[in-house]
């Protein structure tokens, strides 16, 4: 892709690449125009300069603070996006990015007292917001708890020396780390927990545990980012889906999205933003009742033909898919 598209209007050049941990790299990008984004947002990246292959990555940099636009990427074996970005992309190469997206941001939330909780690569939006808060709300009381597999897996290790943070290491904890996993005792040790705005990002089971426990401890302002998308176990009852090409029948629980139904039954589907914006999960529904929360990127003619964005399609009964 040598020219901008409405989906990828931003051309950025790789200035340098830094290895954060054994399997995580940060790509620092030069944008020759002012790229508008908010701390904590993400962008879609065109993979191998293809308009058809895209992946969503957090903008780990901070507007008004960072010199570069940065993407911090964990290499996943056989991951189309991460393998290319961390193995093949070199200094001087160009990447195409979408506009910044997402609502997991701190600039519009009560910020006198915050608790930011991250696990693994979920720390990327948290660090972006932590820098923003230090610059724009320096008097805010910000507590951070960062959970990792081991001390060698701390992303932004040098930079964390600038901010108060509780590090929790599941394995091989050394001085300065709490051994084990995030626990109720650690949460209870946070001063004024119930009065804080709590924001978390990480694997789905981690965020579910955080949500349940902070709410039990009185937190009423809670926000989470779905950094990793869980794939639920295939259901054996509930809504029935019939796919014609290739022929397959499968089930999903009532209340699921079409995307969740497809993924939990290992039906191939492209998905990037998962927010009804990028259009990569376009799917044709031939019959059945459903509602949609987004039709972005779909033409009026496509909608007449039954095309939906699977991430924003909410089946109300059995569906037949093309």
pLDDT tens readout for residues 115-163: 999 999 999 999 999 999 999 999 999 999 999 999 999 999 999 999 9
Give me the helices (H) in 202-292, please.
204-216, 258-264
Report the pLDDT value the prediction gives residue 126, as an integer from 0 to 100.
Answer: 97
Instruction: Please state the domain count of the chain.
Output: 3
State whether 124 and 180 are in the same domain.
yes
Question: Same domain for 122 and 31?
Answer: no
Domain boundary (191, 226, 261) is at: 226
Distances 32 to 13, 27, 47, 67, 98 between C-alpha atoms, Å = 9, 16, 20, 12, 15
* Residue in this structure with the two tokens 């492209």, named with its chain if needed: 270
Answer whether residue 66 is part of any domain.
Answer: yes
Going by DSSP bridges, is the β-strand pair 239-243/319-321 parallel, antiparallel, or unpaired?
parallel
CATH code, domain carrying 37 = 2.40.30.10
- The predicted-structure confidence for 51-95, as pLDDT tens digits, reads as follows 667 788 999 999 999 999 999 999 988 788 899 999 999 999 999
- The residue-averaged pLDDT of 309-313 equals 93
Ramachandran area for residue 143 (φ above 0: left; ψ -120 to 50: alpha; else beta): beta
Query: CA angle, 120 as apex, 193 and 226 as ends, to 5°?
Result: 75
Residue ending a domain, choose from 97, 132, 159: 97
Contact by Cβ (8 Å): 277, 309:
no
Q: What is the pLDDT of residue 296?
A: 83
Q: Are strands 54-58 and 177-179 parallel, antiparallel or unpaired?
A: unpaired
Are the CB atoms for 303 and 295 separated by under 8 Å?
yes
Residue 233 lies in a domain: no
Kindly state whether residue 105 falls inside one of the protein's structural domains. no
Looking at the DSSP bridge assignments, the partners of residue 224 are 200
- Tell me if 158 is assigned to some domain: yes
Shared domain check, 214 and 133? yes
Distance CA 36, CA 107 (A): 14
Tokens of 312: 């924003």
- Is the Cα dihedral 129, 259, 83, 6 positive or negative? negative
Q: Which domain holds residue 177?
A: 113-226
């Amino acid at each position: 892709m040598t020219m901008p598209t409405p989906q990828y209007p931003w051309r950025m050049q790789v200035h340098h690449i830094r290895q954060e941990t054994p399997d995580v790299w940060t790509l620092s990008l030069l944008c020759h125009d002012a790229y508008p984004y908010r701390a904590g947002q993400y962008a879609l990246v065109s993979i191998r300069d293809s308009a058809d292959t895209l992946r969503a990555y957090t903008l780990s940099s901070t507007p008004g603070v960072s010199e570069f636009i940065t993407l911090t990427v964990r290499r996943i074996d056989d991951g189309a996006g991460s393998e290319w970005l961390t193995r093949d992309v070199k200094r001087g190469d160009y990447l195409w990015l979408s506009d910044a997206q997402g609502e997991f941001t701190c600039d519009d939330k009560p910020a006198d007292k915050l608790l930011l909780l991250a696990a693994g690569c979920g720390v990327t939006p948290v660090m972006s917001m932590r820098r923003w808060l230090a610059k724009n709300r320096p008097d805010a009381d910000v507590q951070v708890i960062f959970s990792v597999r081991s001390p060698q897996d701390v992303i932004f290790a040098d930079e964390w020396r600038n901010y108060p943070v509780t590090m929790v290491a599941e394995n091989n904890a050394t001085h300065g780390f709490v051994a084990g996993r995030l626990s109720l005792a650690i949460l209870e040790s946070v001063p004024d927990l119930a009065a804080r705005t709590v924001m978390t990002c990480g694997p789905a089971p981690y965020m579910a545990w955080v949500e349940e426990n902070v709410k039990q401890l009185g937190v009423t302002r809670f926000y989470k980012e779905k950094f990793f998308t869980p794939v639920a176990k295939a259901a054996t009852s509930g809504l029935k889906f019939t796919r014609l090409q290739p022929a397959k029948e499968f089930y999903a629980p009532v209340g699921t999205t079409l995307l969740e139904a497809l993924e939990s039954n290992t039906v191939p589907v492209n998905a990037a933003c998962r927010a009804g914006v990028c259009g990569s999960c376009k799917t044709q529904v031939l019959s059945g009742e459903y509602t949609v929360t987004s039709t972005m990127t779909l033409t009026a003619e496509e909608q007449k033909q039954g095309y939906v964005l699977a991430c924003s399609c909410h089946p109300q009964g059995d569906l037949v898919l093309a």
